[in-house]
Structure 1
Amino acid sequence: MAESKENREEVLTCPICVQTFRKPVTLPCQHSFCRECIAVYADKSKPGQTDEVTCSTGSEGVHQLISCPVCRTPTSLGREGVAGLPPNFHLAEIVERFSSAVKVEDDIPYCSLCGEDNQAKAVKFCTDCCLLYCKDCLASFHPIMGAMKRHRLISSQEYLSLETSQRQTSGRDEQSTQQASCPRHGEPFCLYCVRCRLVICVGCVIDHPEHAVRDIPSAAENAKPAVLNKTSELEKVLQETKESLSGVTRLYNKIQETQELHTQEVERAYCAALEALQAWKQQSLDGIKTRYSQWSVECSAILQHFQLHSQEMERMVQASKDLLASLDVEFLQVSQTCTISTIGSAASAPVKYFN
Protein backbone atom coordinates (compact mmCIF):
# COMPACT_ATOMS: atom_id res chain seq x y z
CA MET A 1 0.00 0.00 0.00
CA ALA A 2 2.94 2.32 0.76
CA GLU A 3 4.40 1.72 -2.68
CA SER A 4 1.05 2.44 -4.29
CA LYS A 5 0.80 5.71 -2.42
CA GLU A 6 4.35 6.72 -3.42
CA ASN A 7 3.62 5.87 -7.05
CA ARG A 8 0.49 7.99 -7.03
CA GLU A 9 2.38 10.89 -5.49
CA GLU A 10 5.07 10.59 -8.18
CA VAL A 11 2.51 10.55 -11.00
CA LEU A 12 0.71 13.57 -9.56
CA THR A 13 3.92 15.59 -9.05
CA CYS A 14 4.94 18.44 -11.32
CA PRO A 15 8.38 17.73 -12.90
CA ILE A 16 9.46 21.35 -12.38
CA CYS A 17 8.55 22.12 -8.73
CA VAL A 18 8.39 18.45 -7.67
CA GLN A 19 5.15 19.24 -5.81
CA THR A 20 1.56 18.17 -6.36
CA PHE A 21 0.08 19.76 -9.47
CA ARG A 22 -1.57 23.16 -9.10
CA LYS A 23 -3.82 24.11 -12.00
CA PRO A 24 -2.07 21.71 -14.40
CA VAL A 25 -1.75 22.49 -18.13
CA THR A 26 -0.58 20.15 -20.91
CA LEU A 27 1.90 20.76 -23.71
CA PRO A 28 1.39 19.22 -27.19
CA CYS A 29 3.88 16.50 -26.23
CA GLN A 30 1.31 15.46 -23.54
CA HIS A 31 3.55 16.35 -20.63
CA SER A 32 1.77 18.31 -17.87
CA PHE A 33 3.06 21.03 -15.56
CA CYS A 34 1.73 23.56 -13.09
CA ARG A 35 0.54 26.66 -14.95
CA GLU A 36 2.67 28.86 -12.73
CA CYS A 37 5.73 26.63 -13.08
CA ILE A 38 5.61 26.53 -16.89
CA ALA A 39 5.08 30.31 -16.96
CA VAL A 40 8.23 30.86 -14.87
CA TYR A 41 10.06 28.35 -17.08
CA ALA A 42 8.96 30.23 -20.22
CA ASP A 43 10.10 33.58 -18.76
CA LYS A 44 13.54 32.12 -18.10
CA SER A 45 13.83 30.73 -21.63
CA LYS A 46 16.09 32.56 -24.19
CA PRO A 47 14.26 35.54 -25.72
CA GLY A 48 15.64 34.67 -29.20
CA GLN A 49 13.70 31.38 -29.34
CA THR A 50 10.66 32.38 -31.41
CA ASP A 51 8.41 30.83 -33.99
CA GLU A 52 7.12 32.82 -36.99
CA VAL A 53 3.66 31.62 -38.09
CA THR A 54 0.95 32.85 -40.44
CA CYS A 55 -2.53 33.15 -38.92
CA SER A 56 -5.67 31.96 -40.71
CA THR A 57 -6.52 35.57 -41.42
CA GLY A 58 -3.27 35.99 -43.33
CA SER A 59 -1.57 38.06 -40.62
CA GLU A 60 1.79 37.00 -39.39
CA GLY A 61 2.97 36.90 -35.77
CA VAL A 62 5.92 35.92 -33.66
CA HIS A 63 5.24 33.36 -30.93
CA GLN A 64 7.56 32.22 -28.17
CA LEU A 65 9.08 28.80 -28.70
CA ILE A 66 10.06 26.67 -25.67
CA SER A 67 11.37 23.18 -25.20
CA CYS A 68 9.46 20.69 -23.06
CA PRO A 69 11.32 20.42 -19.71
CA VAL A 70 10.90 16.63 -19.86
CA CYS A 71 11.38 15.50 -23.48
CA ARG A 72 12.83 18.73 -24.97
CA THR A 73 10.22 18.78 -27.73
CA PRO A 74 9.88 22.33 -29.16
CA THR A 75 6.52 23.89 -28.40
CA SER A 76 5.03 27.13 -29.70
CA LEU A 77 3.08 28.94 -26.96
CA GLY A 78 0.88 30.86 -29.42
CA ARG A 79 -0.40 34.39 -29.18
CA GLU A 80 -1.73 34.03 -25.61
CA GLY A 81 1.49 32.50 -24.34
CA VAL A 82 1.24 30.23 -21.31
CA ALA A 83 -2.33 31.43 -20.70
CA GLY A 84 -3.33 29.72 -23.96
CA LEU A 85 -2.13 26.26 -22.91
CA PRO A 86 -5.07 23.88 -22.44
CA PRO A 87 -5.81 23.02 -18.79
CA ASN A 88 -5.74 19.33 -17.87
CA PHE A 89 -9.11 19.04 -16.09
CA HIS A 90 -8.85 15.27 -15.73
CA LEU A 91 -5.50 15.53 -13.98
CA ALA A 92 -6.79 18.36 -11.78
CA GLU A 93 -9.74 16.18 -10.70
CA ILE A 94 -7.41 13.28 -9.86
CA VAL A 95 -5.18 15.60 -7.85
CA GLU A 96 -8.20 16.91 -5.93
CA ARG A 97 -9.40 13.39 -5.11
CA PHE A 98 -5.94 12.32 -4.05
CA SER A 99 -5.52 15.40 -1.87
CA SER A 100 -8.85 14.68 -0.17
CA ALA A 101 -7.88 11.05 0.40
CA VAL A 102 -4.49 12.05 1.79
CA LYS A 103 -6.14 14.60 4.06
CA VAL A 104 -8.53 12.00 5.42
CA GLU A 105 -5.70 9.53 5.88
CA ASP A 106 -3.56 12.13 7.64
CA ASP A 107 -6.45 13.04 9.94
CA ILE A 108 -6.82 9.45 11.18
CA PRO A 109 -6.00 9.51 14.91
CA TYR A 110 -3.41 7.34 16.60
CA CYS A 111 -4.02 4.30 18.79
CA SER A 112 -4.83 5.09 22.42
CA LEU A 113 -2.82 2.14 23.74
CA CYS A 114 0.42 2.25 21.72
CA GLY A 115 3.49 3.79 23.25
CA GLU A 116 4.65 7.20 22.08
CA ASP A 117 7.79 5.68 20.52
CA ASN A 118 5.85 3.23 18.35
CA GLN A 119 2.41 4.76 17.95
CA ALA A 120 0.33 3.34 15.07
CA LYS A 121 -2.71 4.65 13.24
CA ALA A 122 -6.03 3.55 14.72
CA VAL A 123 -8.30 1.27 12.71
CA LYS A 124 -11.24 0.93 15.15
CA PHE A 125 -12.92 2.94 17.88
CA CYS A 126 -14.92 1.25 20.67
CA THR A 127 -17.94 3.34 21.67
CA ASP A 128 -18.16 1.42 24.98
CA CYS A 129 -14.47 1.63 25.97
CA CYS A 130 -14.08 5.12 24.40
CA LEU A 131 -10.65 4.04 23.11
CA LEU A 132 -8.95 3.94 19.71
CA TYR A 133 -7.27 0.66 18.71
CA CYS A 134 -4.68 -0.12 16.07
CA LYS A 135 -4.75 -3.54 14.42
CA ASP A 136 -2.34 -5.17 16.89
CA CYS A 137 -3.84 -3.65 20.04
CA LEU A 138 -7.34 -4.56 18.86
CA ALA A 139 -6.35 -8.22 18.60
CA SER A 140 -4.48 -8.19 21.92
CA PHE A 141 -6.67 -6.09 24.21
CA HIS A 142 -10.19 -6.17 22.72
CA PRO A 143 -11.21 -9.81 22.10
CA ILE A 144 -14.39 -10.48 20.15
CA MET A 145 -15.54 -12.98 22.78
CA GLY A 146 -16.19 -12.69 26.50
CA ALA A 147 -17.15 -9.47 28.29
CA MET A 148 -16.37 -7.29 25.23
CA LYS A 149 -18.45 -9.38 22.83
CA ARG A 150 -21.29 -6.84 22.76
CA HIS A 151 -19.08 -3.74 22.46
CA ARG A 152 -19.72 -1.61 19.36
CA LEU A 153 -16.70 -1.04 17.14
CA ILE A 154 -16.67 1.59 14.40
CA SER A 155 -14.02 2.52 11.85
CA SER A 156 -11.65 5.45 12.24
CA GLN A 157 -13.50 7.35 9.49
CA GLU A 158 -16.79 6.88 11.36
CA TYR A 159 -15.07 8.09 14.51
CA LEU A 160 -13.93 11.26 12.70
CA SER A 161 -17.47 11.80 11.40
CA LEU A 162 -18.78 11.31 14.92
CA GLU A 163 -16.29 13.84 16.25
CA THR A 164 -17.28 16.31 13.51
CA SER A 165 -21.00 15.92 14.24
CA GLN A 166 -20.36 16.43 17.96
CA ARG A 167 -18.41 19.57 17.22
CA GLN A 168 -21.21 20.82 14.98
CA THR A 169 -23.77 20.05 17.68
CA SER A 170 -21.64 21.93 20.19
CA GLY A 171 -21.47 24.85 17.79
CA ARG A 172 -25.26 24.85 17.39
CA ASP A 173 -25.65 24.84 21.17
CA GLU A 174 -23.37 27.87 21.42
CA GLN A 175 -25.32 29.65 18.70
CA SER A 176 -28.60 28.89 20.47
CA THR A 177 -27.42 30.95 23.45
CA GLN A 178 -27.04 33.93 21.14
CA GLN A 179 -29.85 35.90 19.57
CA ALA A 180 -31.79 33.78 17.07
CA SER A 181 -31.68 34.95 13.50
CA CYS A 182 -33.52 34.08 10.30
CA PRO A 183 -31.65 31.34 8.41
CA ARG A 184 -32.98 32.68 5.12
CA HIS A 185 -32.14 36.37 5.39
CA GLY A 186 -29.59 36.37 8.22
CA GLU A 187 -31.53 39.08 10.05
CA PRO A 188 -32.52 38.74 13.74
CA PHE A 189 -36.13 37.77 14.47
CA CYS A 190 -37.97 40.94 15.46
CA LEU A 191 -41.61 40.40 14.33
CA TYR A 192 -44.41 37.91 14.96
CA CYS A 193 -47.05 36.89 12.41
CA VAL A 194 -50.32 36.47 14.35
CA ARG A 195 -52.02 34.49 11.58
CA CYS A 196 -49.16 32.06 10.92
CA ARG A 197 -47.96 32.06 14.54
CA LEU A 198 -44.36 32.45 13.40
CA VAL A 199 -41.48 34.71 14.41
CA ILE A 200 -40.08 36.43 11.34
CA CYS A 201 -37.45 38.97 10.38
CA VAL A 202 -37.92 42.18 8.40
CA GLY A 203 -37.07 40.37 5.18
CA CYS A 204 -39.85 37.81 5.77
CA VAL A 205 -42.62 40.44 5.87
CA ILE A 206 -43.03 40.22 2.10
CA ASP A 207 -43.96 36.54 2.49
CA HIS A 208 -46.83 37.43 4.85
CA PRO A 209 -48.94 39.94 2.88
CA GLU A 210 -51.98 41.39 4.67
CA HIS A 211 -51.16 39.36 7.78
CA ALA A 212 -51.36 40.94 11.21
CA VAL A 213 -47.76 41.48 12.32
CA ARG A 214 -46.65 42.61 15.77
CA ASP A 215 -43.31 43.24 17.38
CA ILE A 216 -42.00 40.29 19.39
CA PRO A 217 -42.13 41.91 22.89
CA SER A 218 -45.78 42.98 22.57
CA ALA A 219 -46.74 39.64 20.96
CA ALA A 220 -45.05 37.76 23.78
CA GLU A 221 -46.71 39.99 26.38
CA ASN A 222 -50.09 39.40 24.74
CA ALA A 223 -49.55 35.61 24.73
CA LYS A 224 -48.32 35.38 28.32
CA PRO A 225 -51.76 35.71 30.07
CA ALA A 226 -53.06 32.54 28.42
CA VAL A 227 -49.93 30.68 29.45
CA LEU A 228 -50.20 32.10 32.97
CA ASN A 229 -53.82 30.93 33.24
CA LYS A 230 -52.86 27.50 32.01
CA THR A 231 -49.97 27.46 34.46
CA SER A 232 -52.32 28.34 37.32
CA GLU A 233 -54.66 25.52 36.30
CA LEU A 234 -51.75 23.11 36.15
CA GLU A 235 -50.52 24.24 39.56
CA LYS A 236 -54.02 23.67 41.00
CA VAL A 237 -54.16 20.19 39.49
CA LEU A 238 -50.63 19.57 40.75
CA GLN A 239 -51.66 20.57 44.31
CA GLU A 240 -54.72 18.29 44.17
CA THR A 241 -52.53 15.48 42.87
CA LYS A 242 -50.07 16.00 45.71
CA GLU A 243 -52.90 15.92 48.27
CA SER A 244 -54.28 12.74 46.74
CA LEU A 245 -50.81 11.27 46.73
CA SER A 246 -50.41 12.14 50.41
CA GLY A 247 -53.75 10.47 51.25
CA VAL A 248 -52.90 7.35 49.30
CA THR A 249 -49.50 7.24 51.01
CA ARG A 250 -51.13 7.40 54.45
CA LEU A 251 -53.59 4.66 53.46
CA TYR A 252 -50.75 2.50 52.19
CA ASN A 253 -48.79 2.94 55.41
CA LYS A 254 -51.91 2.12 57.47
CA ILE A 255 -52.43 -1.07 55.45
CA GLN A 256 -48.85 -2.09 56.08
CA GLU A 257 -49.16 -1.43 59.83
CA THR A 258 -52.48 -3.33 60.08
CA GLN A 259 -51.04 -6.25 58.18
CA GLU A 260 -48.11 -6.40 60.60
CA LEU A 261 -50.42 -6.29 63.66
CA HIS A 262 -52.67 -9.07 62.33
CA THR A 263 -49.64 -11.17 61.47
CA GLN A 264 -48.31 -10.81 65.01
CA GLU A 265 -51.74 -11.72 66.49
CA VAL A 266 -51.94 -14.88 64.38
CA GLU A 267 -48.40 -15.82 65.43
CA ARG A 268 -49.24 -15.34 69.12
CA ALA A 269 -52.52 -17.30 68.82
CA TYR A 270 -50.73 -20.10 67.03
CA CYS A 271 -48.02 -20.31 69.71
CA ALA A 272 -50.63 -20.34 72.51
CA ALA A 273 -52.69 -23.01 70.77
CA LEU A 274 -49.58 -25.07 70.16
CA GLU A 275 -48.59 -24.86 73.84
CA ALA A 276 -52.12 -25.85 74.96
CA LEU A 277 -52.19 -28.75 72.51
CA GLN A 278 -48.81 -29.98 73.70
CA ALA A 279 -49.99 -29.80 77.35
CA TRP A 280 -53.18 -31.73 76.52
CA LYS A 281 -51.12 -34.32 74.68
CA GLN A 282 -48.76 -34.81 77.62
CA GLN A 283 -51.66 -34.97 80.12
CA SER A 284 -53.54 -37.50 78.00
CA LEU A 285 -50.44 -39.67 77.57
CA ASP A 286 -49.78 -39.58 81.32
CA GLY A 287 -53.41 -40.59 82.11
CA ILE A 288 -53.34 -43.46 79.63
CA LYS A 289 -50.04 -44.67 81.03
CA THR A 290 -51.35 -44.56 84.61
CA ARG A 291 -54.66 -46.38 83.89
CA TYR A 292 -53.18 -49.07 81.72
CA SER A 293 -50.31 -49.66 84.12
CA GLN A 294 -52.83 -50.36 86.92
CA TRP A 295 -54.89 -52.65 84.70
CA SER A 296 -51.75 -54.50 83.65
CA VAL A 297 -50.82 -55.18 87.30
CA GLU A 298 -54.31 -56.51 88.14
CA CYS A 299 -54.45 -58.63 85.00
CA SER A 300 -50.99 -60.04 85.76
CA ALA A 301 -52.13 -61.14 89.25
CA ILE A 302 -55.24 -62.86 87.84
CA LEU A 303 -53.12 -64.53 85.15
CA GLN A 304 -50.74 -65.90 87.80
CA HIS A 305 -53.67 -67.20 89.90
CA PHE A 306 -55.17 -69.00 86.91
CA GLN A 307 -51.83 -70.50 86.00
CA LEU A 308 -51.49 -71.94 89.54
CA HIS A 309 -55.13 -73.13 89.56
CA SER A 310 -54.62 -74.76 86.15
CA GLN A 311 -51.59 -76.62 87.38
CA GLU A 312 -53.55 -77.84 90.43
CA MET A 313 -56.41 -79.00 88.22
CA GLU A 314 -54.00 -80.86 85.96
CA ARG A 315 -52.65 -82.78 88.98
CA MET A 316 -56.18 -83.62 90.15
CA VAL A 317 -57.23 -84.80 86.66
CA GLN A 318 -54.16 -86.99 86.46
CA ALA A 319 -54.87 -88.42 89.91
CA SER A 320 -58.44 -89.14 88.92
CA LYS A 321 -57.29 -90.92 85.76
CA ASP A 322 -54.82 -92.97 87.76
CA LEU A 323 -57.62 -93.91 90.22
CA LEU A 324 -59.87 -95.09 87.42
CA ALA A 325 -57.06 -97.24 86.00
CA SER A 326 -56.33 -98.94 89.35
CA LEU A 327 -57.80 -102.25 90.60
CA ASP A 328 -61.25 -102.25 91.98
CA VAL A 329 -60.04 -102.82 95.53
CA GLU A 330 -57.67 -99.88 95.28
CA PHE A 331 -60.33 -97.77 93.64
CA LEU A 332 -62.78 -98.39 96.43
CA GLN A 333 -60.13 -97.70 99.07
CA VAL A 334 -58.99 -94.42 97.54
CA SER A 335 -62.44 -93.18 96.61
CA GLN A 336 -63.28 -93.05 100.30
CA THR A 337 -60.83 -90.18 100.77
CA CYS A 338 -61.50 -88.21 97.52
CA THR A 339 -65.18 -87.65 96.81
CA ILE A 340 -66.83 -86.33 93.69
CA SER A 341 -68.05 -83.21 95.51
CA THR A 342 -64.49 -82.19 96.37
CA ILE A 343 -63.48 -82.39 92.72
CA GLY A 344 -66.50 -80.34 91.64
CA SER A 345 -65.81 -77.57 94.16
CA ALA A 346 -62.22 -77.35 93.04
CA ALA A 347 -63.25 -77.08 89.41
CA SER A 348 -65.68 -74.20 90.06
CA ALA A 349 -63.31 -72.06 92.16
CA PRO A 350 -61.91 -69.69 89.41
CA VAL A 351 -65.33 -68.45 88.26
CA LYS A 352 -65.35 -65.67 90.91
CA TYR A 353 -62.78 -63.59 89.00
CA PHE A 354 -65.15 -63.00 86.03
CA ASN A 355 -68.30 -62.07 87.97
Structure 2
Amino acid sequence: MASANTSWSEENLSCTICLDVFNSPVTTPCGHNFCRTCIHHFWDKKLEYKCPLCNELFHTRPDLRVNTLLSEVVDRFGTSVRVKEEPCVEPGEVPCDVCTGTQLKAVKSCLVCLISYCQTHLEPHQRVTVLKKHPLVEPMDRLEDRMCEKHDRILELFCKKEQVCVCLLCTVTDHKSHPVVPLKEEYEVKTAQLGKIEAEVPQRIQERKLKIKEMKDAVDLSKKDADKEIADARQALTSLIGSMVTGFLPTTMGWYLVITLLSVSL
Protein backbone atom coordinates (compact mmCIF):
# COMPACT_ATOMS: atom_id res chain seq x y z
CA MET A 1 0.00 0.00 0.00
CA ALA A 2 1.52 3.21 -1.16
CA SER A 3 1.78 6.07 1.24
CA ALA A 4 1.21 9.67 0.17
CA ASN A 5 3.64 12.31 1.34
CA THR A 6 1.83 15.54 2.24
CA SER A 7 3.83 18.73 2.18
CA TRP A 8 2.75 21.14 4.89
CA SER A 9 3.81 24.75 4.91
CA GLU A 10 3.19 27.73 7.13
CA GLU A 11 0.51 28.78 4.67
CA ASN A 12 -1.35 25.48 5.15
CA LEU A 13 -1.27 25.74 8.93
CA SER A 14 -2.06 29.45 9.31
CA CYS A 15 -5.42 31.08 9.92
CA THR A 16 -6.12 33.64 7.19
CA ILE A 17 -7.73 35.96 9.71
CA CYS A 18 -5.03 36.25 12.36
CA LEU A 19 -2.22 34.93 10.12
CA ASP A 20 -0.87 32.88 13.01
CA VAL A 21 -0.76 29.10 13.50
CA PHE A 22 -4.22 27.61 13.99
CA ASN A 23 -5.56 27.66 17.53
CA SER A 24 -8.52 25.26 17.93
CA PRO A 25 -9.10 25.18 14.14
CA VAL A 26 -12.69 24.83 12.91
CA THR A 27 -13.98 24.19 9.39
CA THR A 28 -16.81 26.16 7.80
CA PRO A 29 -19.46 24.42 5.63
CA CYS A 30 -17.60 25.70 2.55
CA GLY A 31 -14.46 23.83 3.62
CA HIS A 32 -12.20 26.65 4.84
CA ASN A 33 -10.39 26.55 8.16
CA PHE A 34 -10.04 29.28 10.78
CA CYS A 35 -9.21 29.62 14.44
CA ARG A 36 -12.42 29.15 16.40
CA THR A 37 -11.94 32.46 18.22
CA CYS A 38 -11.09 34.32 15.00
CA ILE A 39 -14.14 33.20 13.02
CA HIS A 40 -16.51 33.81 15.94
CA HIS A 41 -15.03 37.26 16.48
CA PHE A 42 -15.35 37.92 12.74
CA TRP A 43 -19.04 36.95 12.68
CA ASP A 44 -19.83 38.88 15.86
CA LYS A 45 -19.22 42.08 13.91
CA LYS A 46 -21.43 41.10 10.97
CA LEU A 47 -25.15 41.09 10.26
CA GLU A 48 -24.61 38.24 7.79
CA TYR A 49 -22.55 35.11 8.19
CA LYS A 50 -20.10 34.83 5.30
CA CYS A 51 -16.87 32.96 4.76
CA PRO A 52 -14.00 35.46 4.92
CA LEU A 53 -12.23 33.62 2.09
CA CYS A 54 -14.81 32.69 -0.53
CA ASN A 55 -17.58 35.02 0.68
CA GLU A 56 -20.17 32.21 0.70
CA LEU A 57 -23.26 33.26 2.63
CA PHE A 58 -24.71 31.01 5.34
CA HIS A 59 -28.39 31.55 6.13
CA THR A 60 -27.83 30.74 9.81
CA ARG A 61 -24.72 30.94 11.94
CA PRO A 62 -22.93 27.59 11.52
CA ASP A 63 -22.32 25.50 14.62
CA LEU A 64 -18.59 24.87 14.14
CA ARG A 65 -16.62 22.11 15.84
CA VAL A 66 -12.89 21.81 16.22
CA ASN A 67 -11.17 19.98 13.35
CA THR A 68 -9.33 17.32 15.37
CA LEU A 69 -7.22 16.12 12.43
CA LEU A 70 -5.96 19.62 11.66
CA SER A 71 -5.36 20.23 15.36
CA GLU A 72 -3.12 17.16 15.52
CA VAL A 73 -1.19 18.27 12.45
CA VAL A 74 -0.66 21.72 13.98
CA ASP A 75 0.54 20.20 17.24
CA ARG A 76 2.96 17.95 15.34
CA PHE A 77 4.52 20.58 13.12
CA GLY A 78 4.18 23.50 15.52
CA THR A 79 4.99 26.12 12.89
CA SER A 80 3.91 29.72 13.14
CA VAL A 81 3.90 32.80 11.01
CA ARG A 82 6.28 35.59 11.97
CA VAL A 83 4.48 38.87 12.28
CA LYS A 84 6.50 42.05 11.88
CA GLU A 85 5.95 44.80 14.38
CA GLU A 86 3.57 47.46 13.14
CA PRO A 87 2.54 50.78 14.62
CA CYS A 88 -0.55 50.79 16.84
CA VAL A 89 -3.56 52.85 15.80
CA GLU A 90 -3.43 56.53 16.71
CA PRO A 91 -6.41 58.81 17.47
CA GLY A 92 -8.20 59.71 14.25
CA GLU A 93 -6.86 56.65 12.38
CA VAL A 94 -8.92 53.63 11.34
CA PRO A 95 -8.15 50.49 13.38
CA CYS A 96 -7.79 47.00 11.94
CA ASP A 97 -11.03 45.04 12.44
CA VAL A 98 -9.21 41.69 12.60
CA CYS A 99 -6.64 42.38 15.32
CA THR A 100 -7.81 40.62 18.48
CA GLY A 101 -5.24 42.07 20.88
CA THR A 102 -3.67 45.46 20.37
CA GLN A 103 -5.37 46.96 17.34
CA LEU A 104 -3.03 48.09 14.60
CA LYS A 105 -3.52 50.84 12.06
CA ALA A 106 -5.54 49.81 9.02
CA VAL A 107 -3.92 50.39 5.63
CA LYS A 108 -6.83 49.32 3.41
CA SER A 109 -10.56 48.62 3.62
CA CYS A 110 -12.25 45.90 1.58
CA LEU A 111 -15.56 46.82 -0.05
CA VAL A 112 -16.60 43.17 -0.26
CA CYS A 113 -15.66 41.97 3.20
CA LEU A 114 -16.57 45.38 4.69
CA ILE A 115 -13.51 45.08 6.92
CA SER A 116 -10.46 47.27 7.41
CA TYR A 117 -7.08 45.50 7.49
CA CYS A 118 -3.65 46.31 8.85
CA GLN A 119 -0.68 45.44 6.64
CA THR A 120 -0.35 41.98 8.18
CA HIS A 121 -4.01 40.98 7.87
CA LEU A 122 -4.22 42.46 4.38
CA GLU A 123 -1.74 39.84 3.14
CA PRO A 124 -4.40 37.25 2.08
CA HIS A 125 -6.01 39.86 -0.18
CA GLN A 126 -2.66 40.27 -1.90
CA ARG A 127 -1.99 36.53 -2.18
CA VAL A 128 -5.24 34.52 -2.47
CA THR A 129 -6.67 34.59 -6.00
CA VAL A 130 -10.28 34.99 -4.91
CA LEU A 131 -9.46 37.79 -2.49
CA LYS A 132 -7.36 39.64 -5.06
CA LYS A 133 -10.60 40.46 -6.89
CA HIS A 134 -11.97 42.35 -3.90
CA PRO A 135 -11.80 46.13 -4.41
CA LEU A 136 -9.63 47.84 -1.79
CA VAL A 137 -9.88 51.51 -0.81
CA GLU A 138 -8.20 53.80 1.65
CA PRO A 139 -9.08 52.94 5.28
CA MET A 140 -12.67 53.80 6.14
CA ASP A 141 -14.33 53.45 9.53
CA ARG A 142 -17.78 51.81 9.95
CA LEU A 143 -17.98 50.51 6.41
CA GLU A 144 -21.43 49.00 6.92
CA ASP A 145 -22.88 52.48 7.38
CA ARG A 146 -21.26 53.67 4.16
CA MET A 147 -22.91 51.07 1.93
CA CYS A 148 -26.00 51.65 -0.24
CA GLU A 149 -28.78 49.50 1.24
CA LYS A 150 -30.39 49.03 -2.17
CA HIS A 151 -27.34 48.24 -4.33
CA ASP A 152 -24.84 47.07 -1.68
CA ARG A 153 -22.19 49.42 -3.03
CA ILE A 154 -20.23 52.13 -1.31
CA LEU A 155 -21.83 55.57 -1.06
CA GLU A 156 -19.23 57.62 -2.90
CA LEU A 157 -21.41 60.37 -4.45
CA PHE A 158 -23.73 63.11 -3.17
CA CYS A 159 -27.03 64.03 -4.82
CA LYS A 160 -27.34 67.83 -4.82
CA LYS A 161 -31.08 67.75 -5.56
CA GLU A 162 -32.18 65.43 -2.74
CA GLN A 163 -29.22 66.13 -0.42
CA VAL A 164 -28.42 62.45 0.17
CA CYS A 165 -25.44 60.15 -0.32
CA VAL A 166 -25.74 57.76 -3.27
CA CYS A 167 -23.74 55.02 -4.95
CA LEU A 168 -22.78 54.82 -8.61
CA LEU A 169 -25.77 52.62 -9.49
CA CYS A 170 -28.15 55.12 -7.90
CA THR A 171 -27.16 57.68 -10.54
CA VAL A 172 -28.61 55.51 -13.31
CA THR A 173 -31.77 54.48 -11.40
CA ASP A 174 -33.52 56.51 -8.70
CA HIS A 175 -31.27 59.57 -9.09
CA LYS A 176 -30.96 59.56 -12.86
CA SER A 177 -30.39 63.08 -14.28
CA HIS A 178 -29.88 64.45 -10.74
CA PRO A 179 -26.76 66.58 -10.27
CA VAL A 180 -24.19 64.60 -8.26
CA VAL A 181 -20.70 65.36 -7.01
CA PRO A 182 -18.01 63.23 -5.34
CA LEU A 183 -18.74 62.79 -1.65
CA LYS A 184 -15.32 64.13 -0.73
CA GLU A 185 -15.97 67.33 -2.69
CA GLU A 186 -19.33 67.87 -0.95
CA TYR A 187 -17.71 67.14 2.40
CA GLU A 188 -15.15 69.88 1.78
CA VAL A 189 -17.92 72.33 0.81
CA LYS A 190 -19.98 71.50 3.90
CA THR A 191 -16.91 71.73 6.11
CA ALA A 192 -16.12 75.20 4.73
CA GLN A 193 -19.72 76.31 5.29
CA LEU A 194 -19.68 74.97 8.83
CA GLY A 195 -16.41 76.79 9.54
CA LYS A 196 -17.94 80.05 8.28
CA ILE A 197 -21.03 79.57 10.45
CA GLU A 198 -18.92 78.77 13.50
CA ALA A 199 -16.92 81.96 12.92
CA GLU A 200 -20.13 84.01 12.66
CA VAL A 201 -21.80 82.54 15.74
CA PRO A 202 -19.95 84.70 18.36
CA GLN A 203 -20.78 87.86 16.38
CA ARG A 204 -24.45 86.85 16.08
CA ILE A 205 -24.62 86.12 19.81
CA GLN A 206 -23.18 89.56 20.58
CA GLU A 207 -25.65 91.22 18.21
CA ARG A 208 -28.54 89.38 19.88
CA LYS A 209 -27.32 90.48 23.34
CA LEU A 210 -27.19 94.13 22.18
CA LYS A 211 -30.66 93.83 20.67
CA ILE A 212 -32.05 92.36 23.90
CA LYS A 213 -30.41 95.16 25.92
CA GLU A 214 -31.90 97.80 23.61
CA MET A 215 -35.36 96.26 23.99
CA LYS A 216 -34.99 96.07 27.78
CA ASP A 217 -33.85 99.72 27.92
CA ALA A 218 -36.80 100.73 25.74
CA VAL A 219 -39.22 98.90 28.05
CA ASP A 220 -37.69 100.55 31.13
CA LEU A 221 -37.90 103.98 29.48
CA SER A 222 -41.53 103.42 28.47
CA LYS A 223 -42.35 102.37 32.01
CA LYS A 224 -40.72 105.54 33.42
CA ASP A 225 -42.61 107.72 30.92
CA ALA A 226 -45.88 106.00 31.81
CA ASP A 227 -45.26 106.46 35.56
CA LYS A 228 -44.47 110.16 34.99
CA GLU A 229 -47.63 110.68 32.93
CA ILE A 230 -49.73 108.99 35.62
CA ALA A 231 -48.14 111.15 38.34
CA ASP A 232 -48.72 114.34 36.31
CA ALA A 233 -52.32 113.32 35.66
CA ARG A 234 -52.96 112.68 39.34
CA GLN A 235 -51.42 116.03 40.27
CA ALA A 236 -53.54 117.85 37.69
CA LEU A 237 -56.63 116.02 38.84
CA THR A 238 -55.90 116.86 42.47
CA SER A 239 -55.56 120.56 41.56
CA LEU A 240 -58.80 120.43 39.59
CA ILE A 241 -60.65 118.84 42.48
CA GLY A 242 -59.29 121.47 44.86
CA SER A 243 -60.53 124.26 42.59
CA MET A 244 -63.94 122.65 42.30
CA VAL A 245 -64.26 122.20 46.05
CA THR A 246 -63.52 125.89 46.78
CA GLY A 247 -65.46 127.28 43.81
CA PHE A 248 -68.62 125.14 43.71
CA LEU A 249 -71.57 125.30 46.09
CA PRO A 250 -71.74 122.33 48.38
CA THR A 251 -74.75 120.90 46.67
CA THR A 252 -75.49 117.18 46.55
CA MET A 253 -74.56 117.07 42.84
CA GLY A 254 -71.30 118.91 43.52
CA TRP A 255 -70.21 116.52 46.26
CA TYR A 256 -71.16 113.56 44.07
CA LEU A 257 -68.91 114.90 41.30
CA VAL A 258 -66.02 115.36 43.76
CA ILE A 259 -66.34 111.85 45.11
CA THR A 260 -66.47 110.43 41.58
CA LEU A 261 -63.31 112.28 40.51
CA LEU A 262 -61.50 111.16 43.67
CA SER A 263 -62.38 107.54 43.06
CA VAL A 264 -61.12 107.79 39.43
CA SER A 265 -57.86 109.37 40.52
CA LEU A 266 -57.25 106.64 43.07
Query: What is the TM-score normalised by the length of structure 2?
Result: 0.29
Higher relative contact order (CA 8 A, sep 6+): 2
Higher helix share: 1
- The structure having more radius of gyration, on CA atoms, is 1
